[in-house]
Structure 1
Amino acid sequence: MLSSPLSVAALSSFRHGTEASAIKPLPFQNRRHRALFPSLLLRRRIFLPTASSSIWDALTGGGGAARDASLAVRRGMLLFRQGDVSGSLAEFDRAIELDPRQKAYIWQRGLSLYYLNRFEEGAEQFRLDVAKNPNDTEESIWCFLCEAQLYGVEDARRRFLEVGRDSRPVMREAYSMFKDGGDPKKLVEIFAKSRADEYFYASLYAGLYYESQNDMDAAKLQILAACQCPYGSRSDDYMAALAKVHCLCRDWSIS
């Protein structure tokens, strides 16, 4: 998934855990929330631009509104990582209010909409994103996931957003499974002895596929496996946080 051109480097680095001004743990955290997000008991920080304002304005398209929109996106990403899905959406929406150009690029907003059961808006977000980035496999899949909830799997598959070839073998296999139908068990088996990140993504998308089929027991098994694997439990990847958010929203205990 790609970020907007306003500050690709900054947003990408934040997605993978770049940090810089302390944010306290959220007051809504309960015992299960702390178990799912143990790192939140530590100081969390947010990346802020260190370049002069003129350079930053050039990177973001100019003006304070664009800069503030970029910061709102990063605040939204941090809140999502902390499990505050509603708060993350509020920040993403604020970013769009500040700089409407960003709407077509905030793929993170679509994820938040999915977990708030706002599937029509989520699908719209992912379709806007794919229109700008026609090679994004994950956004195509997430659009399908939203539309499967709206129209059912078969109709969602007829509406499937076709994108270019993903460089990652695991996402090529996942894309084919969602697009044409397939066996999630085979996806996991293929990557069971591969790199840690490939096993994580195979397990995550196998679980999401099961969820689109309303097989919640199988979905739970696979997404818990994604959370518990080394990559899912230790990585700062935004999608590793998403797997934990998924469990939080479904009231699944990881331990």
Structure 2
Amino acid sequence: MAITHIYHVRVQPSVMKPFDKCYLGGKVVFGSRIQTYQNPVPTLSRRVFVCRVWDALTSGNSAVMAIRKGMHLFRQGDVLGSLVEFDKAIQLDPRQKAYLWQRGLSLYYLDRYEEGAHQFRIDVAQNPNDTEESIWCFLCEAQLYGVHEARKRYLEVGRDPRPVMREAYNMFKDGGDPEKLVAAFLSGRPNEYFYASLYAGLYYESQNEPDEGKVHLIAACQSPYGSRSDDYMAALSKVHCKCRNWNIN
């Protein structure tokens, strides 16, 4: 049985690392580079080879669809439903787990902090420059161990190109004043004010000061960016308020 078509399947870009390879119709694919080999898999019959390629393609596609569904459910406020889909994606393609930061967010809002912290830690191991995952790991561990111990365990990452996230990262890492963070970006770009308000509110929550956190998280939801953007974190700000039974209207 010969392969007569190349099937184009959209996959999560970060899953294929630069030197990951797969065989398609006598070609070895390294990321976006293709090199031709005469006998790519001499130990397999062509039929077995075709079946394995097809299984890999369809399982990967199903995993991506599960992730998309999970993200949609989270945006709609169905946090538990989103986790079911993210876990389904991992069952279909275990490689996805190391990149599923969305799953960590769902775990946080289900009060499954230990699993959430683990998810963010394995994500940072793959992407050591991810400021937000470092912060979310801290948020999970602050609930588990308290702020002092969580700060000892803080994941240090590379320099974030976004000024607002650099300031937020340092605030969580070293301690700081959330009011100063918000004030610094009050007249900034809409997304900067949103992120300053979001992480100011989350910082207060980690310090067990929910009333102060509520002010800033509702402000994040009601900001122009928070109310209009399709950014996943804009949806998260609304999910946060819903989980805390706060009225944002």
Task: Give the TM-score category using the shorter length.
Answer: 0.7 to 0.9
Which of 164, 185, 190 matches 1:170? 164
Structure 2 stretches of 5 or more lacking a match?
1-5, 14-54
Could you report, residue by residue, the CA deviation over 1:154-188 in whole angstroms, capped at 9, with x for unpaired residues? 00000000000000000000000000000000000
Task: Give me the whole-angstrom Cα distance separating, in 1, the residues matched to 2:12 and 2:89.
Answer: 18
Alignment of 1:203-214 (within 5 A): 203-214=197-208
Instruction: Determine whether 1:95 maps to 2:89.
Output: yes
Scaled by the length of structure 1, the TM-score of the pair is 0.78
Task: Give me the whole-angstrom Cα distance separating, in 2, the residues matched to 1:218 and 1:58.
Answer: 37
Which structure carries more strand by proportion?
2
Classify 1:119/1:55 alpha carbon distance in 2 versus 1 (closer, same or farther; 3 Å): closer
* Structure 1 residue 53, shift from structure 2 partner: 2.7
Contact in 2 for aligned 1:57/1:64 (Cα 8 Å): no
* Structure 1 residue 54, shift from structure 2 partner: 4.1
Residue matched to 2:245: 251
* Structure 1 residue 80, shift from structure 2 partner: 0.2
Residue matched to 1:73: 67
Residue matched to 1:238: 232
Alignment of 1:1-255 (within 5 A): 53-56=7-10, 62-255=56-249
Task: Give me the whole-angstrom Cα distance separating, in 1, the residues matched to 2:10 and 2:102.
Answer: 22
Q: AA paired with 2:126?
A: K
Structure 1 stretches of 5 or more lacking a match?
1-51
Task: Considering Cα pairs closer than 8 Å and 6+ residues apart, tell me whether 1 or 2 has the greater RCO.
Answer: 1
Larger Rg: 2
* Structure 1 residue 253, shift from structure 2 partner: 0.2
Q: Secondary structure at the match of 2:205?
A: helix
Q: AA paired with 1:135?
A: N
Q: AA paired with 2:165?
A: M
Could you report, residue by residue, the CA deviation over 1:182-203 in whole angstroms, capped at 9, with x for unpaired residues? 0000000000000000000000
Instruction: Give % identity.
Output: 71
Task: Give me the whole-angstrom Cα distance separating, in 2, the residues matched to 1:202 and 1:154.
Answer: 22
Task: Give me the whole-angstrom Cα distance separating, in 2, the residues matched to 1:223 and 1:147.
Answer: 20
Classify 1:95/1:184 alpha carbon distance in 2 versus 1 (closer, same or farther; 3 Å): same
* Structure 1 residue 62, shift from structure 2 partner: 4.1
Misfit runs of 4+, over 3 Å: 54-59
* Structure 1 residue 63, shift from structure 2 partner: 1.9
Could you report, residue by residue, the CA deviation over 1:200-226 in whole angstroms, capped at 9, with x for unpaired residues? 000000000000000000000000000
Could you report, residue by residue, the CA deviation over 1:223-244 in whole angstroms, capped at 9, with x for unpaired residues? 0000001000110000000000
Task: Give me the whole-angstrom Cα distance separating, in 1, the residues matched to 2:231 and 2:64.
Answer: 19
Q: AA paired with 2:193?
A: Y
Task: Give me the whole-angstrom Cα distance separating, in 2, the residues matched to 1:160 and 1:120.
Answer: 14
Scaled by the length of structure 2, the TM-score of the pair is 0.79
Classify 1:234/1:155 alpha carbon distance in 2 versus 1 (closer, same or farther; 3 Å): same
Contact in 2 for aligned 1:57/1:63 (Cα 8 Å): no
Residue matched to 2:38: none
Classify 1:55/1:245 alpha carbon distance in 2 versus 1 (closer, same or farther; 3 Å): closer
Q: State the Cα RMSD in Å.
A: 1.7
